[in-house]
Structure 1
Amino acid sequence: MNTLQLSIVHRLPQSFRWLAGSAGTKVEPIPQNGQGGDNSLIGLKLLSADGENAWSVMQKLSQALSDISVECTVLECDGEPCLFVRRQDEFAATGRLKNFGVAIAESFSSHNPF
């Protein structure tokens, strides 16, 4: 069975940017009042696997995006592998991953309007 079809990713709530002088190798969160602009990145964290298996799955996800020319990088963030893509490529990236059977976990507000 394809391991991508058993994968669940979650979009990290903050935006990121490349750390000065470390483009492609290190990211830093963008302050909430900061402007990300064209350099803004989103991060996807794997929820369905951990350890060495998580790194392997993230590399496969990265390859799936590279196949459609979406630039991405797998880096450690808070001790776990995360996939970073440019904000403007977010919809193409998540669409591609969904086509491979990857589930995208959504955040829900605890506010109940009823």
Structure 2
Amino acid sequence: MNSEHFSVVHRLPHTYRWLSGFAGIKVEAIPLPGDEDSNLVGLKLLSPEGESARQILQGLNLSLREIQVESNIVECEGELCLFVKCDDESATMCRLKNIGTAIAESVSVSAIYPF
């Protein structure tokens, strides 16, 4: 069984785009979503760091490419993250769940304790 089966990823809270002149290498957060074709979603690995994280992200990257979803591993805010086009977010999440990756989602306190 591959290590990506025990991975947990979290969607970064911002929308991103490729930094001008650095497509596929560097990203920058954008305040308001614009052209969906160029916007990116970032996924951060919540467990292992360093070389283990790189290996797990490479496995996830390869799995996404098997279903023809383009993804890139890029350092963002000091950590390696996986970036996909916003248009591919649903297919990405579906694929990751299908290979056993857990998707951590933010939950508001009011959703748990509505009073």
Under TM normalisation by the shorter chain, which class is it?
Answer: over 0.9
Q: Give the number of equivalent residue pairs.
A: 113
Instruction: Give the superposition deviation at 1:113.
Output: 2.3
Identity in percent: 53
Normalised by the length of structure 1, the TM-score is 0.93
Q: Determine the structure 2 residue equivalent to 1:5.
A: 5
Aligned residues of 2:36 and 2:87 also touching (Cα < 8 A):
no
Whole-Å Cα distance in 1 between the matches of residues 109 and 23 of structure 2? 36
CA distances 1:54-80 after superposition (whole Å, capped 9, x unpaired): 011000000000011000000111111
CA distances 1:6-59 after superposition (whole Å, capped 9, x unpaired): 100000000000111111111100114x52432110000000211110011000
Unpaired stretches in structure 1, ≥5 consecutive residues: none
Q: Which runs of 4+ in 1 moved over 6 A?
A: none
Compute the RMSD of aligned alpha carbons: 1.2
Whole-Å Cα distance in 2 between the matches of residues 82 and 18 of structure 1? 13
Q: Determine the structure 2 residue equivalent to 1:100.
A: 99
Task: Give the strand-richer structure, 1 or 2.
Answer: 2
